[in-house]
Amino acid sequence: MAKAEYVVKRLLLALLVLVGVSIITFVIARMIPSDPAALYVGPRAKPETREAARIKLGLDRPLYEQYLRYMGEVLSGDFGISVRSRRPIIEDLKIFLPATLELVFVSMIFTLLIGLPLGVLSAAFKDGWVDHFSRVFAVVNVSMPVFWLALLLQLLIVRQLGLFHIGGRVSREIAILHPIDQITGFYLIDTALAGNWSAFRDVLSHLILPSIALASYGIGLSIRMTRANMVEVLQQKYITAAWAAGLTRREVFFRQALKNAIVPTLMVLSLNFVWQISGAMLVEIVFLWPGLGTYLVNAILTIDFPIVVSVALIVTVFYVLGNLFIDILQAAIDPRVSLE
């Protein structure tokens, strides 16, 4: 079948990209520091120690062997050791990656729930008051500095209204009274799995404000993208035909038309999603969120090379997965895609 073939092709392509990227990160990790062994043992080590480290790190072996070894390490979760803290990087990633992913996922839900309907209604009632409102709302969202919005939310909603929390992933009392078993590192999932509902509620209410702050750009973006594509789709003959068949507004706008207009929005949101995995630093800092963005920026500032390379590798993997997801979704939405 053409569709299965298409998916397999995309999978293979994604795999190829991943191998390419791993070669690049390998080269950066092993080649750019002029002598990784020297970096490993530190500046005041004896030459013998350095030589021993060369052999221990496999730097005396041929390049392809070094690469295979590197791949083996990465695949088994060994991303090396932080130059500064001497901690295995994987231990840090286990904390920061799920924290970031949870935040980014929840913010994506907000983006879709707010951005898509407003984009659709904006196009459906073009030049009406909904449209004017959404367009202004979209511009504000796209152009507002995210840290400023984060501070504003803290000030207005936490300080003034006393709702939600100023920062962190979980309240201290909850962490003590209802401790969270770390299984996946996603606190919503971990608490739900354990049936720890008071912790679940606490975690959720910690997620709301940072997710909204993080979602705002994507919301603005998806309103504009969806509106533009919907306006075009609504002029198509098959939409006139749908009206002529007596279909309701909801059916025409949110099913017949949106299905034809949604793919570009999803593409942009998927890119935005991947970007946020390492780019949400400003929101993370304001809300004291132990995220990957902050981790990366600290590593850059302290020139902790192995961390930078590891995060780059992870982000690239998500980028490839995001693209794969969009490709497959597009094929699922549009029967003509697999024919191209």
Q: Which residues bind other proteins (CB under 8 A)?
A: 236-238, 240-248, 251, 256, 259-260, 333-336
The DSSP-derived string for 4-26 is: HHHHHHHHHHHHHHHHHHHHHHH
CA distances 167 to 105, 164, 226, 273, 298, Å, are 18, 9, 32, 22, 19
State the CB neighbour count (10 A cutoff) for residue 254.
16
Residue 322 C-beta: closest distance to other proteins, Å: 22
Beta bridge partners of 88: 81
Question: Of 198 and 240, which has the nearer Cβ to other proteins?
Answer: 240
Question: Of 76 and 235, which has the nearer Cβ to other proteins?
Answer: 235
Tokens of 248: 């309701």
Residue 135 C-beta: closest distance to other proteins, Å: 18
Question: Of 252 and 308, which has the nearer Cβ to other proteins?
Answer: 252
Residue 185 C-beta: closest distance to other proteins, Å: 38
Question: Of 77 and 335, which has the nearer Cβ to other proteins?
Answer: 335
Contact in structure between 253 and 269 (CB atoms under 8 Å):
no
CA 150 to CA 187: how far, in whole Å? 22
Residue 288 C-beta: closest distance to other proteins, Å: 45
Residue 86 phi, psi (nearest 5): 65, 10
Question: Of 56 and 250, which has the nearer Cβ to other proteins?
Answer: 250
Question: Of 73 and 334, which has the nearer Cβ to other proteins?
Answer: 334
Q: Could you give the angle at which helices 2-31 and 63-75 cross, rounded to 10 degrees? A: 110
Cα 216 off chain centre by: 14
State the CB neighbour count (10 A cutoff) for residue 34.
7
Residue 243 C-beta: closest distance to other proteins, Å: 6
Residue 142 C-beta: closest distance to other proteins, Å: 28
